[in-house]
């Protein structure tokens, strides 16, 4: 399956999805900084810089310092801009400078072209390596609380435990398992003598699970937009 176009992810962020959730779910890397991936032989931990980067980006987004707009080029093409408020308080200005530094961006350039890829040789571009729907599902499967007996029998891979340094505050999704049928569940599935479920009181997991439909919808309605442009004030202030 094809990877999700970077512009589709930025569209999700524009509609209000938290940038840290979108990137944790949908990308492998941004400017060479790797995300965690739990899919089989390619399983790996996130780079130490990844979660701190997302934390700063989430703060900038939630404080209203970061915005997005579609910039029309001609009748058939458009680009998407991410822009930061020119006048930010000292804390936000520091976060913006840190984002620039972690991504290796030119501190004197305001606009950065967004491209698809693991990394870019240019400090005037932001490269985003996105995942396909299949890769997203494969990664989410690594969060399942799999029964020890299934691991011992080589039916499934063991859960990829998050590293201690730079670990996100919560798991992307929590999927429990037990031999007894659970109660008060959002969704449950029986499989090989066990029940697998999401707790109905686990709002983050419920929201994440529900957001998959939106991601799938985006893939079904890929646009013809031009490459997105990221706009950042010089010096981060």
This prediction's pTM? 0.83
Residues 6+ apart with CB under 8 A from 202: 174, 186
Predicted confidence (pLDDT) per residue in 138-150, tens digit? 999 888 888 988 8
Mean pLDDT throughout 164-182? 81
Same domain, 79 and 194: no
- Give domain status of residue 235, yes or no: no
Domain of 200, in residue numbers: 143-222
Of residues 38 and 226, more confidence is placed in: 38
What tens digit of pLDDT does each residue of 72-98 get? 555 444 455 556 666 667 778 888 889
Helices (H), 90-226: 90-103, 133-141, 148-152, 203-220
Confidence label for 28 from pLDDT (cuts 50, 70 and 90): very high
Instruction: Name which residue leads in pLDDT, 196 or 93.
Output: 196
What is the 3-state secondary structure of 16-43? CCCHHHHHHHHEEEECCEECCECCHHHC
The answer on 123 and 11 residing in a single domain is yes
Among 70, 69, 56, which Cα is nearest to 19's?
Answer: 56
Q: What's the whole-number average pLDDT of the chain?
A: 81
Residue 136 domain-assigned (yes or no): no
Say how far apart CA 4 and CA 151 lie, in whole Å: 31
pLDDT at residue 215, rounded to an integer = 84
Kindly tell me if the per-residue pLDDT of 189 is higher than 90: yes
Do residues 125 and 151 both lie within one domain?
Answer: no
Q: Are residues 99 and 22 in the same domain?
A: yes
Give yes or no: residues 213 and 107 share one domain.
Answer: no
Share of the chain above pLDDT 90, in %: 31
Q: Is 114 in the same domain as 91?
A: yes
- Domain final position from 81, 107, 131: 131
Same domain, 81 and 126: yes
DSSP 129: E
As a 3-state breakdown, the chain gives helix, strand, coil percent values, each rounded to 5, of 35, 25, 40
**Is pLDDT at 208 greater than 80 in this prediction?**
yes
Lowest-confidence pick of 37-41, 69-73, 167-171, 184-188:
69-73
Number of domains in the chain: 2
* Mean pLDDT along residues 211-223: 75
* Residue 111 included in any domain: yes
Q: Does 118 share its domain with 18?
A: yes
């Amino acid at each position: 399956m094809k990877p999700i176009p970077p512009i589709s992810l930025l569209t999700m962020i524009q509609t209000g999805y938290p940038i840290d959730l979108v990137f944790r779910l949908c990308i492998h890397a941004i400017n060479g900084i790797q995300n965690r991936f739990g899919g089989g032989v390619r399983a790996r931990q996130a780079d130490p810089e990844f979660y701190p980067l997302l934390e700063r980006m989430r703060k900038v987004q939630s404080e209203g310092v970061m915005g997005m707009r579609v910039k029309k080029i001609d009748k058939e093409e458009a680009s998407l801009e991410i822009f930061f408020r020119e006048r930010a308080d000292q804390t936000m200005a520091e976060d913006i400078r840190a984002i620039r530094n972690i991504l290796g961006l030119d501190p004197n350039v305001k606009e950065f072209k967004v491209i698809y890829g693991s990394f870019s040789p240019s400090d005037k571009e932001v490269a985003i390596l996105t995942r396909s729907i299949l890769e997203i599902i494969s990664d989410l499967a690594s969060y399942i609380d799999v029964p020890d007996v299934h691991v011992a029998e080589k039916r499934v891979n063991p859960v990829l435990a998050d590293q201690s340094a730079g670990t996100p505050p919560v798991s992307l999704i929590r999927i429990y398992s037990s031999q007894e049928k659970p109660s008060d569940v959002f969704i449950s599935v029986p499989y090989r003598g066990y029940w697998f479920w999401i707790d109905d009181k686990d709002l983050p997991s419920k929201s994440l699970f529900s957001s998959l439909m939106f991601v799938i919808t985006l893939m079904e309605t890929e646009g013809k937009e031009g490459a997105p442009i990221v706009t950042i004030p010089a010096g981060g202030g």
